Structures are given as structure tokens and as C-alpha cells.
């Protein structure tokens, strides 16, 4: 029976089944950042997807460049990742064991491994991804390592996902308030939420309902926050109507409460400014700073 967990501290060898790219980067970046914070070396097997990971890490103010420079974060190039997935499982096992032993000798607390392994699905016959997974499981049991296997639905067929999911004892889950493959909204605390992706006509009403609900709860609670905060550091686009909706929502706030938008990217900020954000008394817009944008740009 696969158990689901939300706490990364409970993960040794787990799988995750993202339903959107926003959820994929959310899960991966959280796993990577936790490893860096714990003094572990993090290895990401890239298959042309590392850009999304690095962008989300930058959004989360993780010191990406410093981690890459000192080797605590290692991106395995796509060609090497694919060559690895063409190798026999014992060879992969020996390589991973060597990586872990070397990291421990350098003073790291352990190693975290994750990345895109969907290339293994395209092998004609030969070794299956299940065999690689079994080899990695043996490594984790004997050494200080954590592995997050990503089987996102955009890259893995349903049949393969269910087979691989059954092979794992633990599945990492990150619940969302809303996810339509374009916009993902997650709660980050009382009166706070994070928006990642893009806002357009299809999901605009959902944000309005989110703000109405959050304000109503804050007004009904004596200990409720006076600021309703949206973290927009991972919001790449908002259309004009979406920006107008945010401004109008703030204008309807009582004088005792404010709508606070944090980490706003320049492109989103320009739209908000054109739609009247500077003149909305109950709206606070905090632009994305150089520190927020990370060290990769």
C-alpha cells in the first residue's frame, strides 16, 4: 500500500505524480531546496527540463548560482542522463553509490537525487524503468540518500504511472487550492496564497472567489490577518482583465484590511500599473527585487 506524505522529512525513496508543470516545479524545487538547506548534495538528472527547476528555485530565493558553483547542486546534462538510462542497472547502481560515498567524504550530510527519467520509457525492449527503480531502492537502504522519482502525467502514460506508483511505498503530495494546468494556487498560511503560472479569462473568477473567501474569513476572526497576501513571484503573466479584477477587489476591501501582492515580476507589474494599481488605497504591490529574482538571471 502506497502511503502519501506532505512532509519532505518523511521521504527517503518516494514518487510524485504531478498533474501540471507548475506542480512539477513546485515539488521538485521544494525537494531540492530542502536538501540544500540540510547540507546535502543535490543531483538533478536533466532531460531538457532544468530551466523550469532553476526558475522556480530563483522564485523561492534559493541561492542557485552559489549552489551550482560550490557543487552542492549538480545538474547532470541531458546527454549524460540519457546515456545513464541506457546503462545496465548494476552500472547505474555503482555510479550512484560512488556519488554518495564521494559526497560524504566531502562533508555532505547525504545526497538527494531527482530529475526527469522518462527517456527510459523509450528503450526498445531491454531494461525497464522498474528495474532502475529497484536498483536505486537498494542504494537508499544502505546509504544516506533520498530519491524523489517524478512521474508527471505530461510525460508518462497512465499505465506506466500506475505500475511505477505501485512500486513505491511513499508518494509525495502537495495539495493545491486550484490547478488547471495553466494556473496553480496553493495556500501558504492564514490569509496567504501563492499563484504560479498564468492568469487569463479561464481562471480569473477563481482568484476573485479566493480573495472574497480569504477576506470573509479574516473579517469573521478576531485573530485574522489584516493583510490578505498573494505571492506572485511565480506568476509569469496576467491579462488586463485579470489585473483590473485584482485592483477592483482591493478597492472593495474595508479600510481595516489590505490586499498585498508580493514578488511581482516586471511584466505583471507593468500591467497592474496600467490598470490603476498605484491609485488603489487598499492595494500594496511589492515588486520583485534582484534578490527575489535569484542569481541565475
Which domains does the chain show, CATH number per domain?
A: 3-172 (3.40.50.300), 178-287 (3.30.750.24)
Which of the residues in the chain have pLDDT under 70? Answer: 1-3, 5, 8-10, 122-127, 290-297
CA end-to-end distance (rounded Å), the chain: 43
Q: How far apart are CA 157 and CA 161, in angstroms?
A: 6
- What pLDDT, on a 0 to 100 scale, did the predictor assign at position 295? 42
Residues 6+ apart with CB under 8 A from 237: 198, 199, 200, 267, 268
Q: Order the strands of the 145-150 sheet from edge to edge.
A: 3-5, 170-172, 13-16, 145-150, 111-115, 41-45, 73-76
Q: Identify the DSSP state of 66.
A: H
Contact status, residue 154 vs residue 116, Cβ threshold 8 Å = no
**How much is the pTM?**
0.88
- What pLDDT, on a 0 to 100 scale, did the predictor assign at position 292? 46
Q: How far apart are CA 243 and CA 131, in angstroms?
A: 49
Q: How far apart are CA 185 and CA 193, in angstroms?
A: 7
- What pLDDT, on a 0 to 100 scale, did the predictor assign at position 1? 46
Q: Decide: residue 273, CB within 10 A, 0-12 exposed, 13-18 middle, 19+ buried.
A: middle
Grid cell, residue 29, equals: 524545487
Please give the full DSSP string across the chain, using - where no structure is assigned: --EEE--GGG-SEEEE--SSHHHHHHHHHHHHHHHHHTT-EEEEE-SS-HHHHHHHHHHTT--HHHHHHHTSEEEE-HHHHHHHTTS-HHHHHHHHHHHHHHHHHTT-S-EEEEE--GGGGG--SS--HHHHHHHHHHHHHHSSEEEEEE--TTTS-HHHHHHHHHH-SEEE----SEE-SSEEEEEEETTEEEEEEEE-TTTHHHHHHHHHHHHHHHHH-TT--SEEEEEEEEEEEE-HHHHHHHHHHHHTS-TT-EEEEEEE-HHHHHHHHHTTGGG-TTEEEEEPPTTTT-S--
**Nearest CA to 207 among 170, 243, 251, 162?**
243
Contact status, residue 15 vs residue 153, Cβ threshold 8 Å = no
Amino acid at each position: 500500500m502506497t502511503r502519501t506524505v506532505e512532509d519532505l522529512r518523511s521521504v527517503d525513496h518516494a514518487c510524485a505524480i504531478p498533474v501540471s508543470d507548475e506542480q512539477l516545479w513546485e515539488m521538485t524545487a521544494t525537494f531540492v531546496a530542502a536538501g540544500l538547506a540540510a547540507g546535502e548534495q543535490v543531483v538533478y538528472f536533466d532531460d531538457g527540463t532544468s530551466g523550469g527547476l532553476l526558475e522556480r528555485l530563483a522564485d523561492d530565493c534559493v541561492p542557485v548560482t552559489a549552489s551550482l558553483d560550490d557543487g552542492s547542486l549538480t545538474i547532470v546534462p541531458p546527454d549524460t542522463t540519457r546515456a545513464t538510462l541506457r546503462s545496465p542497472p548494476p552500472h547505474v547502481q555503482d555510479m550512484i553509490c560512488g556519488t554518495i560515498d564521494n559526497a560524504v567524504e566531502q562533508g555532505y550530510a547525504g545526497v538527494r537525487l531527482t530529475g526527469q527519467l522518462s527517456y527510459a520509457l523509450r528503450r526498445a525492449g531491454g531494461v525497464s524503468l522498474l528495474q532502475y527503480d529497484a536498483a536505486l531502492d537498494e542504494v537508499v537502504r544502505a546509504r544516506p540518500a533520498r530519491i524523489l522519482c517524478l512521474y508527471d502525467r505530461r510525460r508518462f502514460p497512465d499505465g506506466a504511472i500506475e505500475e511505477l506508483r505501485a512500486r513505491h511505498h511513499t508518494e509525495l503530495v502537495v495539495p493545491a487550492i486550484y490547478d488547471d494546468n495553466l494556473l496553480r494556487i496553493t495556500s501558504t498560511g492564514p490569509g496567504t496564497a501563492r499563484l504560479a503560472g498564468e492568469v487569463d479569462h479561464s481562471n480569473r473568477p477563481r482568484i476573485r472567489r479566493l480573495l472574497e473567501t480569504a477576506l470573509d474569513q479574516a473579517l469573521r476572526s478576531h485573530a485574522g490577518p489584516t493583510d490578505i497576501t498573494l505571492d506572485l513571484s511565480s506568476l509569469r503573466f496576467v491579462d488586463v482583465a485579470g489585473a483590473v479584477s485584482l485592483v477592483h477587489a482591493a478597492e472593495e476591501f474595508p479600510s481595516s484590511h489590505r490586499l498585498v501582492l508580493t514578488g511581482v515580476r516586471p511584466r505583471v507589474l507593468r500591467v497592474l500599473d496600467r490598470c490603476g494599481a498605484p491609485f488603489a488605497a487598499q492595494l500594496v504591490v511589492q515588486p520583485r527585487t534582484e534578490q527575489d529574482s535569484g542569481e541565475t538571471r
